[in-house]
Amino acid sequence: MAAGWADLRGAYTCRRLARDLEHSKGRLLTMLDRPQRRIKFVDCRVQDHGDRYEAKVALVDGDTPVDVTVERPSGEGGIAWAAAEATVEAIRQAYGIEPDQVILKDVVSLEMDGRPAVATSIITTVGGERRSLFGLSGVVDSEGKAAALAVLGATNRFFRSG
C-alpha cells in the first residue's frame, strides 16, 4: 500500500518542515550553484617563444571539447604557471563562470621524495561560497602537464563535492 500524506502525520509537521527548509536553504542553494560534472584532461603543450610562453590546453566536458590558448611573458612564472593559467581559463569556459569565480593564486614547482611535482593554489567563489583549493601532481611527461593536472585535481574535487 502506498504511503499518502495522511500516513506521514508523525514524521514532519508543516512548521518543522518549513523551519528545516529555511535553515538549510543557504547551504542547499550553494550546493546547487556548483557545477556537478567532471572536466577531463586531454592534452597540454607549452611553447617557449623566447619572450613569451604559449600554453595550449585541451579538456573535455562530457562530449564537448574545450580548447584554450594563453600567452604570458616568459619572465612571469614559467611553463607551469602558463599551463595552470590556461587550464583555469578552460575551466571557466567549460562551466560558464566569471573570471573572478576561479582565480589562480600560485603555482609552485617543487620536489617531493626526490621527484619533481607541481602544486597549485586556486581561490573559487561559487554561490557565495569562497574556498581555497589546492592541487598537486607529479611531473611525468612535462611540468606543464603536471600543472594542468594539479589544477583539474583541485577544481574537480570542489565542483563534484556539492
Q: Where are the domains of the chain?
A: 37-160
pTM listed for this prediction: 0.75
Percent of the chain with pLDDT over 90: 51
Q: Which pLDDT score, from 0 to 100, does residue 16 have?
A: 58
Q: Which residues, 6+ apart, have CB-to-CB distance to 132 below 8 Å? A: 105, 121, 122, 123
Give dist(CA 92, CA 35) in Å, integer: 11
Lowest-confidence pick of 19-23, 97-101, 102-106, 139-143 = 19-23
Percent of the chain with pLDDT over 70: 75
59, pLDDT greater than 80: yes
Q: Between 1.10.3720.10, 3.30.160.270, 1.10.620.20, 3.40.640.10, what CATH number should domain 37-160 receive?
A: 3.30.160.270
Give dist(CA 62, CA 108) in Å, integer: 30
85, pLDDT greater than 80: yes
